[in-house]
Amino acid sequence: MEHIEAVADMIVESNRVVIFTGAGFSTESSIPDFRGPQGVWSQFDPSELNLPNFLRSEEIREKYWQVHKMFWETVREAEPNSGHYAVAELHNIGKLDCVITQNTDGLHQKAGLPDEKVLELHGTMHWVDCLECKRRYPREEVHQKMLAGEAVPRCDTCNGILKPATVAYGQSMPERETRESEVRSAACDLFLAAGSSLVVYPAAQMPVIAKRGGAKLVILNIGETPHDHHADVVIAEKTGETLTKIIARVKEKLSA
């Protein structure tokens, strides 16, 4: 309870709060993480499914789409959890600068956050891009092509290679989102990292950028992270329940 009060006070005193979310934030929506015992990479080899292999091999493309088909079928049915709604409430009360997320599931937007408030560092599962003509397809449209028998879907316009609009191993991070995340992190007065192991760079650099810029740093994660020693507060609890309690206290303090 002491940590809840401390973080609620920090939010009340802040004007620009940045929330950073990782895979652990969405596990409470029944979306498996990548690195856990039941994660995607316990069934597939991530080093094999990288971008260079995807571009050169039809066999790898088929395996890549097999992984994404499985993941999409989970993501499209998933609902935001209490943590997503707590972050949306932070936006509603005027304290949220932005969400920086490593997640590709779109659950922050589904919980009510405007697109412009969400910086998706690892792309999105909700769209598919043609690597040749750059046409963009809704993910469900491509999913239906696969259900109709296309193991490796192709672009209807140019027959080019289609790829989910997520960042693959060996693919560069999106420039605009990465640059804006760095700027927002440096300018915030409170940075709260939730549900991330903070080991994947350059995303994991954002808390350090925020701290160097003078922000308070809160880390909310079940396991330890390499940045815990930088944090003003570390809470080893579930993200959804804890954020819900924190935002409830923030609203009480603001109304008082």
CA distances from 10 to 13, 99, 178, 216 (A): 5, 17, 26, 8
Please identify which of the residues 122, 126, 143, 227 carries the catalytic annotation.
122
Name residue, tokens 């909700």: 126
Catalytic annotation present for 230:
no
Name residue, tokens 């693919």: 171
Q: Which of 246, 66, 86 is nearest to 146 (CA)?
A: 66
Name residue, tokens 């449209």: 141
Q: Which of 75, 64, 51 is nearest to 131 (CA)?
A: 51
Question: Are 102 and 196 within 8 A, CB to CB?
Answer: yes
The 3-state DSSP class for residue 3 equals helix
DSSP character for 159?
-
Structure tokens at 87: 């972050």
DSSP character for 230?
G
Structure tokens at 208: 């350090």
Which amino acids are annotated catalytic?
A: 122
